Structures are given as structure tokens and as C-alpha cells.
Structure 1
Amino acid sequence: MKKLTINSSKSSDMFTQIHECIQGNLVEDWGESVLTFNTTIGKGALRTIDFNWGVSLIDCNIKLNEETKIVFDTKDLAPIEFIFITSGYFEYSENNTDSYTRLEQFQNTIISHKRDAEKTFLFPKNENLKINFIRINRQEYLKKKHNNVSQLNQLLVSLFNDSKGEATFQHGGSFSLRIADEIKLLNDIDTTNGLLRSLSLEGRLYLILSLQLLEHKNFEENMNLPEAISKEDILKIHKLTTYILEHISETISITILSAESGLSPKKLQLGFKILYSKTVNEYVRQLKLEISKDYLKNTDLSVSEIVYAIGIKSRSYFSKIFFEAYDVLPTDYRKHLKNKNASLR
């Protein structure tokens, strides 16, 4: 087993120590550090970026050749960590005990350990790991004007105000594919302009954080649907989203999706409601509309051709639901984009 001890809670210091251990190539630009490696330890990429008011992002896309334990041994006030895994799993313990909590794929997790306690992450070998950490230095964040911490539920209010780090906090909440989708969009942000990239990353990060806070609120207030769906069902529904995208030009019904996934129509509706806060039809329709916007913006396809490409039979119906969603007709949306581009020349 590989073991690495980290003695600072600051993202930049952590990255320096990790780089010293695994080597690789470290690139820093516009406050963003990206470490790529392909060594005897494993291969992959780690990224960190610090934002204002004590908020930072660390994300990992790695595969390790041996089980790896990272021990955080620091006297610093521990950050509040919002963790989401889109691929794989890892385990967590406090005080370096042999008792570990397994953090699961697609589950919303929030942790913070006591100031004097050790925190341990145990990563498995030969597992494709994609993990997103949003870390909040509570002392810095509370200096932010209109931080609105008081609007959170009492558990999180007390956690944010625990300036001495006297409490342990661990929340293993509901599963969410909506958060997984937003994290994919976060990782897909690609622009050569450093300022635009930083702003895009920060905006997407705060959206993800708000969804994680909302999940915690709903979980604590028992607002999630009472019926349960299994991890296997979640993976089947996640796989279905790829199927829907690949067959977007076709008629996609609950009956077809039920046959494709092996889940009953009732289970499908329940799963989409829990994981996306949408019915199956609402999810499919929104995806078709988002793709149509992309076609209108980036292609010369006519509206009729776009309607055919996204599998909607009626142009008038398409115009109706497009207007309901975006408060503009498809033709006017395209005209607006053309006029805007012309004014920039």
C-alpha cells in the first residue's frame, strides 16, 4: 500500500506535496494548477483552483496501480468538503482508525473533521476514479458579504460557525445524476481566454455547490421521495441518458426506455424524479430543446431540419415548446444571434 501524509489543509500546499510524491507534469496558469502523471504509481490528472472567500476546487481523474492511503495530519481548521464521485468509489475515516466509510458513486457527501483529528482517504487500485471536491474555508467564507449562511438549516449553520473545529460532520446523502451532469459540464469548460475560463469555472462551481446544499436540505427535511432505488437502478438510468442522446432523432417513449433498461415504467419515473427532479418526458424534452439551441447557434440547418434532427414531428409544436422554455421563437433566437455576431465585427 502506498501512503502519503499531507500536513496542510491549503490546496496549493497539498498539491505541492502530492507533486513531490508522484512527480508528473505540473502546469500553472490563471490560478489553476493541473498535475498530469503516468508513473509507476498510476496515471491521470489532478486539478486545483482557488476562488475568493475561501472556496476552492480539486478534481481528480485518476487510476492507481496500488491501494493508496492519503493521511491529512494538520492542526489547521478543517475545510468543509462537498464531495461527489462520478466514477468509482473511495473510503474515508477520521483519526486514522480501521473503521472506514465508503463514499459511493453519484452520492452527495459532505464532511468536516475535528481540528486535531487525522483524516484518511483510502483509494482503491485499478479503479477509474473521477472525484470532485469543493472545499470551503469557513473562516474566510464568513467574511463574504451576503454569505447567507444563516439561511441554511441548523446543522450547517452550526458547522460554518464552528470556528474552533470542535465538531465532526459527515453527511452521506441522496444520489443525484443532476449533480453528475453539472460536474461533467464543469470539466468540459474549454476556452483559451483565462478570464472567461475562470469565470465559467466559478459560476459552474457555485451552481454545483447550491445543488449539493439543496440535496442536504431536502434530505434533512425528508423532502426526497420516500421510495428507494438501488445503486444498480441508478447506473441503469445513467446509462439510459447516453442512449437518449444517441437516439435523440427518434421517438423516445417510456415503453422504449423501459425495454432498453429492464426497469419498469414506474421505476423509471421514480428514478428520473429522484435523480433529475424531472419526469422522463420532461428530461427528454429538455435535452431535445438544448440540442436544438446548439443547432440554431452553430449550424446552418433550417428550423424544419432541426425539428427532424431532434425527433419532433411538428414544427409548430417545436416552436411552441421552445417559446415556453426560452421566451423566444426559434427563428427569432437565430436572428438575435446573427445580429449580435454582426455587431461585434
Structure 2
Amino acid sequence: MKNLAVSSKSIPVILHPLLNIWQSDDNDNQTNHNISLDHRIGDGKIKYTRLQYGLQVINFDILLSQDIEISIDPIAEDSLQFLYCLNGKCSHIFKNPEEVSFIDQFQTVVVRSHKESNSSIIIKKGLHVVFNLICVNVNEYFNEFKTKENHFGKKFQIFLQCISKKPKYIHLGSYNFKIAEQLKLIVNAEYNNEISKLLSLKGRYYLVLAKHIEQFYADIENNSNTSGLLKDELKRISKVSEFIKKHPEIQHSIQTLCAASGLSPAKLQEGFRFMFDRTVSDYVRNIRLEKAEKLIQTTDLTISEIVYSVGLTSRSYFCKIFKKKYRFSPKEYKSKTTNT
């Protein structure tokens, strides 16, 4: 079902395996591609971003009407893929001999392969899958860290040694909800211009990559989930955090959040500290400030109107905590944003 209207010469080599499901592309450069799925295959979008030489990202947000297999054989001789399922699930396969690994939602996965490894992702029909793939050319991206003698360089050397033992390597890691939070910010972000979009995307993707590597170390040191919470409990924490983001104006309390999640106050607090490095109240306050900053930038609401729209009642308190976070009073921030 190859779409012959798409020229393989106009797209990065890493995207060539997607030509069979490609409907259209609203970008004509080598740095960004927003791909619409062929409607005979399913619905959804695939977004490609080249962050720098040796570092590329593909995001899938698709719902399929038939099973598909997407080759992730790299364009480089030695490549790493960092895989993460934000929604749904999928599987990875090495062929010859066949080795299938199932990837669950929120699970971290590291794959090392080369051109002839026949490495693929399998996504099943009827399941809404939001999937992130970071592809790293080891020689191009990690080369500068290989010879560094500082603590950071040595950790990278250990990391590369662990994954270089076999020509084909897959590490099925633990569940990491901090990566999910970063990817959600990428998916839901709104940008004022292309420059701010590019800088924000790069920063968050680098952070996602760093968290993948941190999780790998935690796994091999058997220290992956120090919270003691179960996967289902961490999922409930994630749902609570999403509810707070959508409704910052509600007067959230430990009691109401516990009732909604079915978690005890101790587990709720423990989960927020583990996932966000904040208490529940700190998290709610930070979400309100972020929403307020966005309203200051994008609306003509007065400061008092913004205060009440994010669930606060004291303008003086709001001004105090806003200035502490953003280094300007709300009025100064609004003036600065307007004049920029």
C-alpha cells in the first residue's frame, strides 16, 4: 500500500519504513515532518524532529485499522533507540532468530541494534497508541562523552559498556512516570513562534533522554522504584495530577483527592514526592502559577481575574508566590511580555 506520491528523496532515511502508511506531510524540510496516516491504515499523526546530528525523535499518536510492523533499523552502523509508550502498548521484535518483547504503558525500553539486526516495532489494530522513539547514533552523539574522565563521562562509559556486550540488545526497564510527564508537556505545549518551539522541544527531549539513562542505571542497580508504590498506584497518582492540571480552579484537598483516587493520604503524598519531587500542595500551587503565567501572556484578563480563575482568593499572596517563581511581579511580567 505504498503511497507513490511521496518521494523517498525528500525525507530523512529513518522515515523510509513509514512510506507504506504515509498519506501526507505538511513539512518540506529535513528537520521537522508532521505525517498524516493513510486512512486505509488508520487515523493519527506521526511527528519527526531532528534535534541535532545523531539525535532524532519520532512521536506516534495513532489508532490503526490493521496491524503494522515498523522497521527501526538505524541509518548508522551502531545505534540506540529509547522507546516509551505514553498510551496503549506495543511490542518489539528482533528477527533471525525471532525475539519478541512486549512494551507496556509507561515502561522504559533501550534497544541497541545495527543495520542488519532487523529490529521492528509492532503496533496492533484497534488500540490508541501514543509512542515515543528517540534514535541516537552512538558514534555521533555519545562520542564526546567516551573520553571524559569526570563523573558524568564515566557514567556514560559504563552505560555504553553495558549495552555493547551483544550486537543485539534490549533492556526492558521499569515504569517511569516522570518521562510521561515530560512527554505530556511536549504533546500539549503551545508556542508563540518557531524559535521558542524548537528550543522548548530540544530541552524537553534532552531531559527525556537523560531520564531514560537514569532509569537504566536505577534498574541495573536494583533501585528503580524507591517509593514502594505499585504500578497501579502510580497510575492513579498520574490521573490525579492530570485532573489537577485540567481543573486548577477547584479547591483541591487531600481528602477529596484521596476519595477520587482511592489512595491513602500517606500514599498520595509519597507518590507525588516520587513522581514530581513535590508535596501535593506544592504541586497544586505550581500548576496554578503556570496556568496564571499562561493567562498573563495570552489574555487581557486583569490580575485579579486571573487570581480567581486559578483557584486563589488572595491577590497579595498570589503576587508574592508569582514573583518568587518568575522573579517579576504579575504586573511587571505582563508589561515585559507585552513589550517583547
Normalising by structure 1, what TM-score? 0.81
Instruction: Report the secondary structure of 1:77's partner residue.
Output: coil
Match of 2:171 in 1: 170
**Which of the residues 128, 151, 158 maps onto 2:161?**
158
Match of 1:284 in 2: 284
1:43: Cα distance to partner? Answer: 2.0
Match of 1:332 in 2: 332
Deviation by residue 1:161-189 (Cα, 9 ceiling, x = unmatched): x5x9746241413321x322322332345
Whichever residue aligns with residue 175 of structure 1, its letter is N
Inter-partner Cα distance in structure 2 for 1:256 and 1:151: 47
1:133: Cα distance to partner? Answer: 0.9
Listed as ranges, the gaps of 5+ residues in structure 1 are 3-10
- In the TM superposition, 1:14-29 aligns within 5 A as 14-19=14-19, 21-29=20-28
Match of 1:229 in 2: 229
1:102: Cα distance to partner? Answer: 1.8
1:288: Cα distance to partner? Answer: 0.8
1:89: Cα distance to partner? Answer: 0.6
Inter-partner Cα distance in structure 2 for 1:216 and 1:187: 24
User: Once the two structures are aligned, what percentage of the paired residues are identical?
Assistant: 27
Counterpart check, 1:316 vs 2:316: yes
Inter-partner Cα distance in structure 1 for 2:295 and 2:75: 53
- In the TM superposition, 1:1-345 aligns within 5 A as 12-19=12-19, 21-31=20-30, 32-71=32-71, 76-95=76-95, 99-113=99-113, 116-143=116-143, 150-152=153-155, 154-158=157-161, 162=164, 166=167, 168-176=169-177, 178-189=178-189, 194-221=194-221, 225-338=225-338, 340-341=339-340
2:86–2:105: 8 Å Cα contact kept in structure 1? yes
Instruction: Report the secondary structure of 2:12's partner residue.
Output: helix
Inter-partner Cα distance in structure 2 for 1:284 and 1:192: 25
Instruction: Report the secondary structure of 2:102's partner residue.
Output: strand
Moved more, 136-145 or 70-79: 70-79
Aligned length: 327
Inter-partner Cα distance in structure 1 for 2:245 and 2:159: 37
Inter-partner Cα distance in structure 1 for 2:61 and 2:262: 30
Inter-partner Cα distance in structure 1 for 2:234 and 2:299: 34
Normalising by structure 2, what TM-score? 0.82
Listed as ranges, the gaps of 5+ residues in structure 2 are 2-10
Inter-partner Cα distance in structure 1 for 2:85 and 2:147: 26
Instruction: Report the secondary structure of 2:244's partner residue.
Output: helix
2:14–2:75: 8 Å Cα contact kept in structure 1? no
1:14: Cα distance to partner? Answer: 3.8
Instruction: Report the secondary structure of 2:26's partner residue.
Output: strand
1:224–1:274: 8 Å Cα contact kept in structure 2? no
| CA RMSD, Structure 1 to Structure 2 (Å) | 3.2
Inter-partner Cα distance in structure 2 for 1:75 and 1:246: 41
